[in-house]
Amino acid sequence: MKDYTNSGITGCGGAGFPAHIKLASKGVETLIVNAAECEPLLHKDKLLLLNETEAFFKGLSIAQKQTGAAVVKIGIKAKYPELIKKVEASIAAPNVSVLPLGDFYPAGDEYELVYEATGKLIPFGGIPINVGCVVMNVETLVLIGSEKPFTHKWLTITGEVPSPVTVKVPVGAAIPEVMSLAGFNGSFSGKTLIDGGPMMGKVVAEPEKAIVKKTTGGLILLDNEHPLIKKMLRSEQKNTAIARSACDQCTDCTEICPRALLGYPVKPHKAMRSAQFSKLENSEYTKESIFCSECGLCSNYSCPESLTPREMCMKAKKLHLSNGVKQKDFLGEPHVHHMRWARRVTIERLIKRLALIDYDRDAPVIKTNKRFERVVLPLRMHIGAPASPVVQPNQQVQEGDLIAAIPEGKLAAALHASISGRIESVTNEAIVISRG
């Protein structure tokens, strides 16, 4: 079997976990494909299934062989019958099947996927392999199936742009150049760019200087006056002050929390209470915050006062983790809440609550001949240690050449040239390549 250690392939939408580690997993019973694409406005994964079907199934076959998984389940939302029909028509193995998913958020969370696919719950402090599962996303499998190094990234560009699109661009490409593919050539003044989805994406601090990373699954441009952006741009100090003054203790944040409904002990309302009465310093009262997945449903949907329980959980979580608290310290095991089926939030309702109806548009795949003259490639676009440069300034490289390797004995991912050209600079942070 081919060794993917130096392929540079990582997870393509979350934290960027190196794919070669997952491929080397032992004791895998079920390989689960995350094609849920539960973030509103993003279309990349389902379009990859339609447009890169051959590469996807080749990658899926490789992943199944390398992990030894006896069963493969492809999680796709049931609301896409034509996509499911095409995927099912391409399935050649008897132990591979489509897992129809409900149209709720966050259907793509690996805890949700593992439960939906197997009926098993990941233990406190555990990961999917603890219940015999490995979860991989669509684009990662397409990359594996291409049998090439990770040099280009698929992403959806949408929001305040003339023509939303889904495109493939070099890793490290400049954001302004990439945005032009959707017809946006203006100033970012008065607008905010989100890297990722509206629920878990991050605000891009300086979009004029930013680049596409291996984990960039989408770029959403919104006006600064949009209510979602106003909330995202609030300071921690202001969020805490508002939490102290306005929370009415309704507990809706906990009652609708996806992790709580799966039986994990996270209680966002307790973090809100602690913010009110003890400045989040009461460590015993808010320890459960370390189970927060940071999905954002409590802050962006559940709270009738438009407060930020997630941010209070994150604040408490950071405190407890820094003090050495671990999920495995909690006794017991998760048990699914009997009202889970009734409390899940549909994407349609979520889009309305987020005031994103006007941006819920198709973003078709386009092929571009745009020539990117320069790329900036950070040495750390993945979980773990930074990659170690193996090139020098002024060295000529070809697209796909290894430019930074995995440090010996470290969890990391290799890095490859995403364009052909000259190494402009090498620092402890990034490698820059220009065609000139």
* Total residues belonging to the chain: 436
Q: Are 16 and 383 contacting, i.e. CB atoms less than 8 angstroms apart?
A: yes
* Positions in the chain short of pLDDT 70: 1, 13, 279-283
Give the DSSP letter of residue 51.
H
Q: Do domains 151-226+355-372 and 373-436 have the same CATH topology?
A: no
Residue with tokens 């709720």, as numbered in its chain: 104
Asked whether the whole model's pTM tops 0.85, one would answer yes
pLDDT for the residue numbered 65: 96
CB atoms within 10 A of CB 321: 13
Kindly list the distances between the CA atom of residue 334 and the CA atoms of 253, 304, 396, in Å, as whole numbers in the listed order.
Answer: 19, 28, 54
Q: Are 136 and 19 contacting, i.e. CB atoms less than 8 angstroms apart?
A: yes
pLDDT for the residue numbered 72: 99
Angle 61-63-65 (CA atoms, 0-180°, nearest 5)? 70
Q: Are 67 and 134 contacting, i.e. CB atoms less than 8 angstroms apart?
A: yes
Q: Are 16 and 381 contacting, i.e. CB atoms less than 8 angstroms apart?
A: yes
Residues 31-45 have pLDDT tens digits of 999 999 999 999 999
CATH fold of 373-436, please?
OB fold (Dihydrolipoamide Acetyltransferase, E2P) (2.40.50)
- Kindly state which CATH superfamily the domain 19-146 is placed in: NADH-ubiquinone oxidoreductase 51kDa subunit (3.40.50.11540)
Choose the CATH number for 151-226+355-372 among 3.30.1490, 1.25.10, 3.40.50, 3.10.20.
Answer: 3.10.20
Please state, in angstroms and rounded to a whole number, the distance separating the CA atoms of residues 91 and 78: 17
pLDDT for the residue numbered 281: 66
pLDDT for the residue numbered 2: 80
Kindly list the distances between the CA atom of residue 254 and the CA atoms of 63, 116, 259, in Å, as whole numbers in the listed order.
Answer: 37, 21, 9
Please state, in angstroms and rounded to a whole number, the distance separating the CA atoms of residues 223 and 125: 39
Please state, in angstroms and rounded to a whole number, the distance separating the CA atoms of residues 316 and 286: 7
Residues 101-111 have pLDDT tens digits of 999 999 999 99
pLDDT for the residue numbered 348: 97
Q: Where are the domains of the chain?
A: 19-146, 151-226+355-372, 236-354, 373-436
pLDDT for the residue numbered 240: 87
